[in-house]
């Protein structure tokens, strides 16, 4: 569609406002999120909400029409997000299904994969996840040892993945595996689109310190994959993974154009409301507490402006994709500081209280999660220094060496 044939943003906004008021339940401003734990019921509700959005014509706003979306602009998505702020939204689908996996398939997948899986996700029929991290891999994604061996027209997958966000609720996952052990580590990888619930895949949910079980670990024992499950080129998986990591950094940084509604929907760790916490702690009139709330508000505003600037810069070609690490790093630092301020404001109420203030202690225990999601903050700083500022790359002993010759711990 050309710009001249697009529905103008204001008309779209008014249509969305009327449809939301008639079809979607409003959020209860006084509701307290459930305690962390299993969220299976929430996922059932999420699928239903996504199907409702699709039936109403408000799903996949920025995805192309030929793959089930509306083919509209980011401005249309922003308008819908603003109008839907007071309504229940399928936020659990934002990360990683819509903001990471679907755009990666859009950029690197086959025409068949795009038509089948992006449209299914938009309809609410499929949920997508990531099989990237490994138990022994740390932050070195290119060093994965999960392997896929060719067997005629199929591939056989063996190995293990971990820290897969909400994989138990998903239908398919993007899985990076090694397919050539004699090539250097970045050039012997292939990305696969794997059906999760099939013979040979064992999945376990990981219980975190706050009680949440949203992360999973997976074990692959002779899992048979069809030839059309390859995303991109055989042994070209690092190009796909690089694009996937770009979308992950952008999503974690808060700059994805594909999310609908505000937030990721992670009910295991709701964002602290500092004003509510101050009132529950009886400290809302203290000057120092007001200063801390003001600091958090200022950081949030700076973050919003940074996201806007980087997104515009990348869309106009003034910034390269690595600039997404700026958003990702500042998002982490904002999260750290907000959790720190919440603890300082809440005091003992953060442990003994109820409602918003009573969750402060749990949130603080999970504080470092902001340092890891979307790649560690150390990785973000490396990307900023090397790919944005042009500083020298750090030394790597395994660069350009056949992966079969790289020393690994046993």
In this structure, what token pair is assigned to residue 282? 């009886």
Cβ–Cβ < 8 Å for 203, 217: yes
**How far is the C-alpha of 33 from the C-alpha of 44, rounded, in Å?**
17
Q: Give the pLDDT confidence score for residue 271 in this predicted structure.
A: 74
Cβ–Cβ < 8 Å for 80, 16: yes
Q: Give the pLDDT confidence score for residue 159 in this predicted structure.
A: 97
In this structure, what token pair is assigned to residue 171? 């239908």
Q: Give the pLDDT confidence score for residue 268 in this predicted structure.
A: 47
Cβ–Cβ < 8 Å for 96, 22: no
Question: Which residues have C-beta within 8 Å of that of residue 203, sequence separation ≥ 6?
Answer: 167, 168, 196, 216, 217, 218, 219
Q: Give the pLDDT confidence score for residue 370 in this predicted structure.
A: 79
Residue whose pair of structure tokens reads 């990348």 in the numeric block: 314
Q: Give the pLDDT confidence score for residue 361 in this predicted structure.
A: 83
Per DSSP, the three-state class of 270 is: coil
Name residue 46's beta-bridge partners. Answer: none
Structural domains in the chain, CATH included, are 271-388 (1.20.140.10)
Q: Give the pLDDT confidence score for residue 1 in this predicted structure.
A: 43
- Candidates 43, 52, 65; CA nearest to 127 is 43
In this structure, what token pair is assigned to residue 38? 């299993």
Q: What is the mean pLDDT of each run of 10 residues along the chain (410 residues)?
A: 68 97 90 69 93 97 97 94 94 94 98 98 98 86 95 97 94 98 96 97 91 92 98 98 92 87 61 88 95 96 93 88 91 92 89 68 82 84 93 88 85
- Candidates 89, 34, 88, 28; CA nearest to 61 is 89
């Amino acid at each position: 569609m050309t710009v001249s044939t697009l529905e103008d943003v204001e008309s779209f906004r008014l249509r969305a406002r009327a449809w939301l008021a008639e079809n979607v339940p409003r959020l209860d401003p006084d509701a307290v999120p459930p305690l962390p734990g299993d969220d299976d019921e929430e996922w059932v509700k999420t699928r239903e909400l996504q199907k409702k959005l699709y039936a109403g014509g408000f799903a996949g706003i920025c995805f192309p029409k030929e793959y089930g979306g509306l083919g509209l602009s980011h401005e249309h998505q922003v308008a819908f997000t603003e109008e839907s702020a007071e309504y229940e939204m399928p936020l659990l689908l934002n990360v990683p299904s819509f903001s990471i996996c679907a755009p990666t398939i859009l950029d690197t997948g086959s025409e068949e994969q795009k038509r089948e899986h992006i449209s299914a996700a938009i309809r609410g029929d499929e949920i997508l996840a990531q099989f990237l991290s490994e138990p022994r891999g740390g932050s070195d994604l290119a060093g994965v040892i999960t392997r896929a061996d060719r067997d005629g027209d199929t591939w056989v997958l063996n190995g293990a993945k971990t820290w897969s966000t909400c994989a138990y609720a998903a239908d398919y996952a993007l899985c990076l595996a090694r397919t050539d052990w004699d090539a250097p580590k970045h050039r012997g990888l292939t990305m696969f689109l794997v059906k999760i619930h099939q013979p040979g895949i064992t999945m376990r949910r990981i219980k975190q310190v706050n009680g949440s079980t949203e992360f999973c670990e997976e074990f692959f024992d002779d899992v048979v994959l069809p030839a059309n499950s390859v995303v991109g080129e055989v042994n070209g998986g690092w190009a796909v993974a690089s694009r996937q990591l770009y979308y992950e950094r952008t999503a974690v940084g808060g700059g994805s154009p594909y999310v609908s509604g505000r937030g990721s929907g992670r009910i295991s760790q709701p964002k602290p409301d500092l004003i509510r916490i101050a009132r529950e702690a009886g400290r809302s009139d203290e000057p120092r507490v007001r200063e801390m709330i003001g600091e958090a508000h200022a950081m949030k505003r700076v973050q919003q402006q940074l996201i806007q600037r980087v997104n515009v810069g990348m869309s106009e070609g003034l910034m390269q994709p690595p600039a997404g690490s700026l958003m990702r790093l500042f998002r982490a630092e904002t999260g750290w500081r907000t959790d720190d301020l919440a603890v300082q404001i809440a005091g003992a109420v953060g442990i003994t209280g109820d409602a918003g203030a009573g969750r402060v202690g749990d949130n603080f225990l999970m504080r470092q999660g902001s340092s890891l999601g979307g790649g560690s903050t150390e990785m973000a700083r490396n990307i900023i220094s090397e790919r944005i500022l042009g500083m020298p790359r750090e030394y790597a002993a395994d660069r350009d060496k056949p992966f079969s010759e790289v020393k690994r711990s046993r």
